[in-house]
Amino acid sequence: MIFNSVVAGILVARWLGAEGFGRLAVINVAVATVVQIGSFGLPSSNTYFIAQDQSHFRAAAINSLIFGLGAGTLLALALTAIASFRPYWFGFVSPDLVRIAAISIPFQLITLIGLNILLAVGKIRDFNLLDLANQSFVLINAVLVLLLLKRGLETLVTFNTLASVLVASVITLLLVISAKSLTQSKWRADIALLRRMIAYGLKFHVSILAGAIIGIMIGQPSAGLVIGAATGALIAAALWWIDRRR
């Protein structure tokens, strides 16, 4: 997976230059940050609740899919609105590129949550293969768009978004297939279970998120263009919340 990212980064820097590489980095950081914030700890809570009792599988899965599509769509619209009304937050990145990338947010949420559901029911092989495939599209798309099609950054972002849709669709299909052999419960949402799962997930999510954002800013200075002054408020709120939970 590291190999895919490194080689893809080299290709982007070589064919699109430093400016193109920087734009792609800002886009990826913006989307990844939104996905992590919007997951509300469901990836870890799904693993916990389903591993405890597999009768929760269908309810947890349908809750997660609905949540991923609903919350993900709202987050995508929010990011699109920010790119339109506060374009300087993204520096030299075109709002059109942010809009294209934002489409992937619901599907990336489904992928993130769905992979952890597979992990909870012991589908380790499927988890590893899908995670590898998801990461491999970074390199596959770079080769296809830059080397074969000779296109630019907009096409690369579009292909990455389409890859997110494809991976999320495959994961959803696999969850449906897995449910047939795991439990006989009905496919229906359970709001009470969803509340419990979010409450459990948030216990760990806020502290992890604060550390992740600090890591992103240290490792990718261009992230400051996206996160900006809101980072201080977010981290302060996270530390306050953690202190209250002790």
What are 220-231's pLDDT values in tens digits? Answer: 444 444 444 444
Judged by average pLDDT, the poorest of 59-63, 122-126, 161-165, 212-216 is 212-216
- The string of pLDDT tens digits covering residues 119-146 is 887 788 888 888 888 888 988 999 999 9
- Tokens 């937050």 correspond to 89
Per the confidence metrics, is the pTM higher than 0.85? no
Here the tokens at position 179 are: 């449910």
* 208 CB burial (10 A radius; 0-12, 13-18, 19+): middle
Residue 67's contacts (CB-CB under 8 Å, 6 or more residues apart) are: 40, 42, 109, 113, 194
Q: What is the mean pLDDT of residues 78-99?
A: 90
For the chain, the structural domain boundaries read 2-245
User: By the 8 A CB rule, do 141 and 160 touch?
Assistant: yes
Inform me whether the pLDDT recorded for 244 exceeds 80: no
User: By the 8 A CB rule, do 89 and 80 touch?
Assistant: no
Task: Tell me how far apart the alpha carbons of residues 229 and 127 are, in angstroms, rounded to a whole number.
Answer: 36
pLDDT of the residue at 178: 78
Residue 225's contacts (CB-CB under 8 Å, 6 or more residues apart) are: 26, 89, 90, 91, 93
Task: Tell me how far apart the alpha carbons of residues 38 and 175 are, in angstroms, rounded to a whole number.
Answer: 21
**C-alpha dihedral (223, 227, 233, 237), degrees to nearest 10:** -80
pLDDT of the residue at 223: 45
Taking alpha carbons only, the member of 246, 226, 223, 227 closest to residue 235 is 227
pLDDT of the residue at 246: 42
Task: Tell me how far apart the alpha carbons of residues 40 and 183 are, in angstroms, rounded to a whole number.
Answer: 26
